[in-house]
Amino acid sequence: MAIDQTKQYTYADYLTWTDGKRFELINGRVVEFPATLSEEHQRISANILTQIAILFLGKKDRCRLYHAPFDVRLPLYTETNDNSILNVLKPDIVVVCDKNKIDRRGCLGAPDLIVEVITPRTARYDLNDKFELYQMAGVKEYWVVFPNDKALISFQLMDNGKFDAGTVHTAENKIHSNLFESFEVDLWNVFENND
């Protein structure tokens, strides 16, 4: 697909792209990513995913857990038509507690928790563009993982609709989510064998 950076694309356009590349849309602007992720990225993402999955096992009315590639459509207002949705992202890990937001194509609306694993190529994008969009859409918690630093910054959505300044967690810490009772992720296990 030839991307025209002067054009605004919609989710309807996005659905027609079949060349195997990974794309996201922010305000109709196309962002292209490599088709595959590094081994380190996959390992860290899988370690977080596993710990979250274990926390949800056996819980009645549990939230749903997804991992990339999984489309999250973020209408910022009331647009739900494919031709009007301008924001489509593929976060590394997504937790959605409102089952009405899930359909056969992914999630329509703000997930409760999003986790992104930073790469040198995506750092600015994850910490600026996605940060702003997740905040505006009302994502309750946003975790950004820094593999090289063996650290994670967690952002909580405050009552004023803005993320807080963020809390830095290192490999020696356990993260406690404000969203879920007894929710804890051990970062030592997330970053194990990551030298």
Structure token digits, residue 91: 């976060």
Distances (CA, A) of 26 to 11, 13, 87, 108, 138: 10, 13, 5, 15, 15
The predicted pLDDT at position 35 comes to 67
Q: Give percent of the chain above pLDDT 90.
A: 62
Whether 73 and 91 have beta carbons less than 8 Å apart is answered as no
| Residue 93 in this model has a pLDDT that exceeds 80 | yes
Mean predicted confidence (pLDDT) in 74-85: 86
Mean predicted confidence (pLDDT) in 60-89: 88
| Residue 194 in this model has a pLDDT that exceeds 60 | no
| Residue 33 in this model has a pLDDT that exceeds 80 | no
| Mean of pLDDT over the chain | 89
Decide: helix, strand or coil at residue 158.
Answer: coil
The predicted pLDDT at position 22 comes to 82
Q: Give percent of the chain above pLDDT 70.
A: 94
Cβ-based neighbour number of residue 82 at 10 Å: 14
**pLDDT digit string, tens, across residues 107-155:** 999 999 999 999 888 888 889 999 999 999 999 999 999 999 999 999 9
User: Of the candidates 68, 71, 72, which has an alpha carbon nearest to the alpha carbon of residue 42?
Assistant: 68
Cβ-based neighbour number of residue 75 at 10 Å: 17
Q: Note if the pTM is more than 0.85.
A: yes
For residue 107, the surrounding DSSP H or E stretch is strand 106-108
The predicted pLDDT at position 195 comes to 54
In the chain the domains, ranked by start, together with CATH numbers, are 38-70+88-190 (3.90.1570.10)
